[in-house]
């Protein structure tokens, strides 16, 4: 298949693009490069620089006879969404409507959507099933939930089939250390703590008063390779007649921030930790019930042991301390 990957030069999108090439597909990437990196992409992949809201560039992209879309493009910072909700609702919800209009215009029948566990808000039950009430505590989570719901309407009205994958915490890097996470600014605990260990600088731990065993929030960490494999399975499922739906993408195992710091110190070395108040919008505990993803799509996490995740991330960050800016493409 010829597959459009929006946000395909970003962290998850670029890993997905390489997996698609490996699986025999032909990815076409649309990325604004606001946060993405050309160096993260295989040289053989066609890249269009622009936004999914731009009708002119969408027209150019769809001249490639696209068969399906995997939509990653979006802003991802929960704290920023709380302070700037308009930015997130416009970019994550309103702008991609133009993409859906184009899918209908060009008779594209399949889309995989990068959603989030943030749609659930403060969980009432853990692990969290897909049927859990949706009460997002941040505009980020709300923007993703709104787009999920619009996808449901587009299925009923235009027969556009979709699978939304609700991510928990995507993390880790390519096992050979050549490709990894390079955000600026970086808001995720694993890369920030690893950088603190490498640079011998303090790491800021946000929130020590959560209602958890050690007072720090608990998250479900899924290796980037396992997450991308779920997208490939979802795409195959739609091709084989699976109905529109949503799936949690997580391992079902939670780790507290204190646990993560302990493993990183073991792998990367010691570093000082500064305590700070909670970040706005952060739930205490997010752990996936991914039973449906495993049973319906045959997905299994293979690289998401927390030690494996952190070792792969450390290999990337230690060999590329400035991210993609200090490496040439090979």
What does pTM read for this prediction?
0.94
The DSSP call for residue 51 is -
pLDDT at 326 over 80: no
Which of 19, 95, 108 lies closest to 62 in space, CA to CA?
Answer: 108
Which of 53, 25, 35 lies closest to 8 in space, CA to CA?
Answer: 35
For residue range 102-116, what is the model confidence (pLDDT) as tens digits? 999 999 999 999 999
Mean pLDDT of the chain: 95
For residue range 187-224, what is the model confidence (pLDDT) as tens digits? 899 999 999 999 999 999 999 999 999 999 999 999 99
Task: State the catalytic residue, choosing from 11, 48, 140, 221.
Answer: 140
Mean pLDDT of 41-52: 96
In CATH terms, the superfamily for domain 189-219+252-286+302-324 is: UDP-galactose 4-epimerase, domain 1 (3.90.25.10)
Mean pLDDT of 55-64: 97
> Helices marked H in 39-108 — which ranges?
55-61, 78-83, 85-89, 95-105
For residue range 121-172, what is the model confidence (pLDDT) as tens digits? 989 999 999 999 999 999 999 999 999 999 999 999 999 999 999 999 999 9
Q: Is 167 a catalytic residue?
A: no
For residue range 82-97, what is the model confidence (pLDDT) as tens digits? 999 999 999 999 999 9
Cα dihedral: 231, 237, 243, 248 (round 10): -40
Question: What CATH architecture is 2-171+220-249?
Answer: 3-Layer(aba) Sandwich (3.40)
Which two structure tokens, joined as six digits, stand for 253? 């195992």
Which of 286, 292, 173 lies closest to 220 in space, CA to CA?
Answer: 286
pLDDT at 238 over 70: yes
Q: What's the maximum distance between 2 C-alpha atoms anywhere in the chain?
A: 56
Mean pLDDT of 10-29: 97
Q: Where are the domains of the chain?
A: 2-171+220-249, 189-219+252-286+302-324
> What is the distance between the alpha carbons of residues 6 and 86, in angstroms, rounded to a whole number?
21
């Amino acid at each position: 298949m010829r597959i459009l990957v929006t946000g395909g030069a970003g962290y998850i999108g670029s890993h997905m693009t390489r997996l698609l090439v490996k699986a025999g597909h032909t990815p076409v990437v649309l990325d604004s490069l606001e946060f993405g990196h050309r160096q993260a992409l295989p040289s053989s992949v066609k890249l269009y620089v622009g936004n999914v809201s731009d009708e002119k560039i969408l027209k150019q992209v769809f001249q490639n006879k696209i068969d399906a879309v995997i939509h990653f493009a979006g802003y991802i910072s929960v704290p920023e969404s709380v302070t700037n909700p308009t930015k997130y609702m416009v970019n994550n919800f309103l702008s991609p409507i133009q993409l859906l209009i184009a899918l209908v215009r060009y008779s594209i029948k399949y889309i995989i959507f990068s959603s989030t566990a943030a749609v659930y808000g403060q969980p009432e039950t853990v692990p969290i099933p897909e049927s859990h009430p949706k009460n997002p505590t941040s505009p980020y989570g709300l923007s993703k939930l709104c787009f999920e719901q619009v996808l449901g309407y587009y299925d009923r009205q235009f027969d556009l089939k979709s699978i939304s994958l609700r991510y928990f915490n995507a993390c880790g890097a390519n096992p050979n250390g050549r490709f990894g996470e390079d955000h600026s600014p970086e808001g995720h605990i694993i890369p920030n703590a690893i950088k603190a260990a490498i640079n011998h600088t303090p790491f800021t731990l946000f929130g020590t008063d959560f209602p958890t065993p050690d007072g720090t929030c608990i998250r479900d960490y899924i290796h980037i390779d396992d997450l991308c494999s779920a997208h490939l399975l979802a795409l195959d499922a739609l091709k084989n007649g699976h109905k529109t739906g949503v799936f949690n993408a997580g391992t079902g195992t939670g780790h507290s921030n204190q646990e993560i710091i302990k493993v990183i110190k073991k792998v990367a070395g010691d570093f000082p930790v500064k305590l700070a108040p909670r970040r706005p919008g952060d739930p205490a505990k997010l752990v996936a019930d991914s039973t449906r993803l495993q049973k319906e799509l045959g997905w299994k996490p293979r690289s998401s042991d927390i030690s494996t995740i952190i070792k792969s991330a450390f290999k990337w960050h230690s060999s590329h301390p400035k991210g993609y800016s200090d490496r040439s493409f090979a």
